[in-house]
Amino acid sequence: MEINTLDLLALISLVTVATALLVGGQGRGGWQLSLLYLLQLVVVASMVMMAGGEGIISTLQFSTVGESIGWRLDGLGLYFLLITVGTAAFVSFYMAGPWGEAYQRDGGSLRWLQVALATNVFTMLLLLASGDLLSLFIGWELASWAAFWMMALAGGIALKVALRYLIYAMVGAMMVFALIVILYGQAGSFGFDEIREASVQMERGTTILVLLLTVAGFGIKMGLLPFHLWQAPAYAETPGPGSAFLGAISSRLGLFAILLVLFRVVDGAWIELYLGFMNPQTLLAWIAVATIIFPTFTAMRQNDARQLLAWHGIGQGGYMLLGIAMMDPLGVAGGMLHIFNHATYQAALFLAVTAVIYRTQTSDLNHLGGLVVRMPLTFATMLVGIIGLAGLPPMNGFVSKWLVYRSLLEQGEVLLFVGAVIGTLGTILSVYKLLHNTFLGSLRLEHQAVREVPITMWMPMILLSGLILLTGIFPGVPLQWVAEAAASIGLPMPQFNLGGVIAEGGSLDMRVISGVLLSGFAIAALIFYGAGSSRRVNPLDNYAGGHFLYASNRYHYSNNFYAGLMHLIKPWYRGIFERLEQIILLLLAVIADLLQGLYLQRQPGRVALVVLVLLLWWSTL
């Protein structure tokens, strides 16, 4: 039997899991794992280089009840896999050194964290390389459970919020299962091509059901509104680097599956369908915009750095879906590119926050401040990261959002456009609060002795920052991967070059834009520093309107940072989604109680009555 690159990758991935079991627990011993992830990255990169056409089919296939199950990796899976493995490489490197030792001192098990990470990567490989609906379902379930494991590792609150995720994930899995049953019923096969052929003749009702199950079932993982409540707490409670991995890529699997089913498995005719009030495309776009706005403004209210980031993660997912829902070249490119861009800055930001926690033991935004003088590299990472997250030039987040805006502009979707921009502006406010409350303002007395994190931690952060900047200046590189991914599911792509996109009615060349921006900074710096030197004073040596700020009396304006705005929009936060969740849970509890009563025969008389009624009803049929 000949072994191809996909088999090789799966093998290395499995070896990584085994190695994590063996040496994952040794703080500094984790370098073998980083090496293995790098090896995986090299294999994936070589696959990206040689990609095209049919994709790589794994020799690992088996058949059961007359159906063969197999794996194959095409452009779409490869794109997600590249991000997955890349993130894992950064994260494992970060985890392996002093951070891991500190984690173990605090009672955590580094070994299981490493194993969880490796398992996540392996199961995600299985999912991304699924070649039919059965292997898709297997991969989906395994990846969901692996993510749950990672979230629950910390125990306590983490376990509680992870269990909440599990409930959501199980509901999603039921929907996915129903979807697979329906599609199998249509085609009599699990194969993508067979289903695509059969789906052309699908009835209207069936098509709507398929659409609904796909978007809801997989959308839960993505944190699509109104299924978003689980995500932020669950990611925020995951041990530091783990949250960076989950936040960067894990929830994007939902988007992957939605793309795969809607554009590859099912025939594209669903786009033409009219639902009575709007078509599915518009509906998707509106769900996306709702997913952008609500979580972003919820993020702005958070007082914990990790919660804040996790909420933004949900909101940014909306941009990806919004772009793709436009289904024109610019929108697709923007939405798909945002997946990569988001992974880079979200990982950097989570790692930076983890670094702050490593030194200060807190991520409470009301108990930090002034750390820029103590942790300049971590600050730099967070600065680059938030500029990326907010989507300002010259970072990569700007490019993908620009593409989405341009697409909305071209289609004349003014309300969607305004919604997307409100999300961006809200993000700017929110991330400035994150940076300000952590790094700016006055340094607290207890943080006087804080130092920069060790090299094993700042190195991956700085490398990620470099990546955010470089892919911002040269977006053509990731756009090439996006093009392969879009081609494999038959979505259009705009014309692009190394610096950006060439489009009718306004192009973008980030080489030029970054060039003038950085030159502008350089000229301003020349003028500024040319005007003579300035005297550096103690940060506390400042003017406070007649009051004096003593060294023992720190005042950092952090709590309720946007007091004026909150005063205005507070009535809008009614927690309707929380209430919706509670109502559904209550209904479930009532039904479960009734069923349990039936099963345990608590009230035999009532059971007999129910059975009798059912029998009578049946007899009349």
Partner 1 sequence: MMVVDLLIELLLMPLVAFLVGLVMVLWMRRLGARIQRRVGPPFLQPLYDVVKLFGKETQISHGVLHDIGIIMAMGGYIAAETLLPVPGMDGVAAYGGIITLTYLMMIPSLGLALGVGQCANPNGSIGISRALTAMLAYDVPFVIVVFGVAYHAGSANLIEIIDGQQQAGVAGWGLFEMPLLAIAGLITLQGSLGKQPFEVYVAPAEIATGPMVEMGGKYLGGLFVMQAFQFYTATVLYVSLFLGGGTNWIDLLLKSFLVLTIPVSVAYLFPRYRTEDLVRLLWKWPVMIGLLGVAFVV
Q: Please give the residues from 376 up to 395 whose contact with partner 1 meets the rule CB under 8 A.
A: 383, 387, 391-393
What SS3 class is residue 65?
Answer: coil
- Smallest gap from residue 318 Cβ to partner 1 (A): 17
- Between 40 and 381, CB nearer to partner 1: 381
- Between 275 and 425, CB nearer to partner 1: 425
- Between 519 and 601, CB nearer to partner 1: 519
- Between 218 and 439, CB nearer to partner 1: 439
Q: Which stretch binds partner 1 (CB under 8 A): 20-28, 31-39, 400-408, 470-478?
A: 400-408
Q: Amino acid identity, residue 402?
A: W
- Between 199 and 514, CB nearer to partner 1: 514
The Cα–Cα gap between 621 and 607 comes to 22
Of the candidates 418, 390, 393, 402, the one whose C-alpha atom is nearest the C-alpha of residue 503 is: 402
Q: Identify the H or E element spanning 64.
A: strand 56-64
Q: Could you say which of 181, 373, 587, 614 contacts partner 1 (CB under 8 A)?
A: 373
CB 501 within 8 Å of CB 489? no
The Cα–Cα gap between 518 and 515 comes to 5
- Between 567 and 579, CB nearer to partner 1: 567
- Smallest gap from residue 560 Cβ to partner 1 (A): 9
Q: Can you state the angle between helices 204-222 and 280-301, rounded to 10 degrees?
A: 20
Q: Identify the H or E element spanning 63.
A: strand 56-64
User: Footprint of partner 1 on residues 501-540 (CB under 8 A)?
Assistant: 505-509, 512-513, 516-517, 519-525, 527-529, 531-537, 539-540
User: Footprint of partner 1 on residues 118-147 (CB under 8 A)?
Assistant: none
- Between 201 and 495, CB nearer to partner 1: 495
The Cα–Cα gap between 304 and 306 comes to 6
- Smallest gap from residue 402 Cβ to partner 1 (A): 6
Q: Tokens at residue 402, please?
A: 């620009």
- Smallest gap from residue 315 Cβ to partner 1 (A): 15
> DSSP letter string over 338-362?
HHHHHHHHHHHHHHHHHHHHHHHS-
Of the candidates 24, 44, 43, 47, the one whose C-alpha atom is nearest the C-alpha of residue 34 is: 24
- Smallest gap from residue 481 Cβ to partner 1 (A): 23
- Between 547 and 574, CB nearer to partner 1: 547
The Cα–Cα gap between 77 and 120 comes to 15
Q: Could you say which of 18, 157, 418, 591 contacts partner 1 (CB under 8 A)?
A: 418
- Smallest gap from residue 372 Cβ to partner 1 (A): 6
Under rule CB under 8 A, residue 180 binds partner 1: no
What SS3 class is residue 52?
Answer: coil
Q: Could you say which of 71, 402, 481, 496 contacts partner 1 (CB under 8 A)?
A: 402
CB atoms within 10 A of CB 575: 11
User: Footprint of partner 1 on residues 331-370 (CB under 8 A)?
Assistant: 370
- Between 290 and 421, CB nearer to partner 1: 421
Q: Considering CB under 8 A, how many residues would be counted as binding partner 1? A: 76
Burial zone of 521 (CB within 10 Å; 0-12 exposed, 13-18 middle, 19+ buried): exposed
User: Footprint of partner 1 on residues 566-585 (CB under 8 A)?
Assistant: 567-568
User: Footprint of partner 1 on residues 51-90 (CB under 8 A)?
Assistant: none
In terms of DSSP H, where are the helices of 229-328?
A: 231-237, 240-245, 252-259, 280-301, 305-326
**Is the bond preceding residue 394 a cis peptide, omega within 30 degrees?**
yes
- Smallest gap from residue 18 Cβ to partner 1 (A): 46
Lay out the site mask for partner 1 across 542-571 (x = CB under 8 A, - = otherwise).
Answer: xxxx---------xxxx--xxxxx-xx---
CB 121 within 8 Å of CB 13? yes
- Between 177 and 562, CB nearer to partner 1: 562
User: Footprint of partner 1 on residues 229-288 (CB under 8 A)?
Assistant: none
- Smallest gap from residue 461 Cβ to partner 1 (A): 18
User: Footprint of partner 1 on residues 429-468 (CB under 8 A)?
Assistant: 429, 432, 435-436, 439-443
CB 127 within 8 Å of CB 254? no
Q: Could you say which of 77, 97, 254, 426 contacts partner 1 (CB under 8 A)?
A: 426
- Smallest gap from residue 283 Cβ to partner 1 (A): 20
- Between 563 and 610, CB nearer to partner 1: 563
For 191-209, letters b (16+ CB in 10 Å) and e give bbebbbebbeebeeeebee
Angular region, 273: left φ>0, alpha ψ -120 to 50, beta rest: beta
- Between 417 and 481, CB nearer to partner 1: 417
Residue holding tokens 């007999």?
608
- Smallest gap from residue 254 Cβ to partner 1 (A): 29
